[in-house]
Amino acid sequence: CVERTEMHREISIATGSAFFPILQGLLNVFKEKAPNVIIHLYNVENNYFGGNVVVAGLITATDLIKQLKGKPLGTMLYLSSEMIGGSGKFIDGIAVNEVEERLGTKLNFNTHTGRRLVIELLERKNG
């Protein structure tokens, strides 16, 4: 069990519409454990593949940039590890570092399940 934390930081999470409502529920639990962490949760529409694809693993850098540019993201944007392959690129061929540059925040792909994400967020000491 993870203890309540007093961390002060601002982060964001982006996911597809299939996982978005589940993640909202998990974040309610997280907010009880870490009320001083501001979390922006974004539902990213998959326009690249026509809008009917709802899984996070097929979200492209193009859609992330187009939909999140200019929005509050904080010091870290958490994304599903399924969004990038071993090459460090999204499915549309755009590199992670380019997305970080264009969005003005670091990307974190260390998690692929909601439970693991909450644990990761609670254990991290910096953004």
Could you report the per-residue pLDDT of 96-112, keeping only the tens digit for each? 999 999 999 999 986 65
* Strands (DSSP E) found in 1-127: 9-15, 37-43, 76-80, 106-111
Q: Describe the strand order of the beta sheet including 106-111 as a list of residue ranges.
A: 37-43, 9-15, 76-80, 106-111
Q: Measuring CA to CA, which residue among 119, 109, 99, 85 is closest to residue 15?
A: 109
**Portion of the chain with pLDDT greater than 90, in percent:** 44
- pLDDT tens-place string over residues 59-69: 999 999 999 99
Cα separation, 15 vs 20, whole angstroms:
6
Q: DSSP character for 66?
A: H
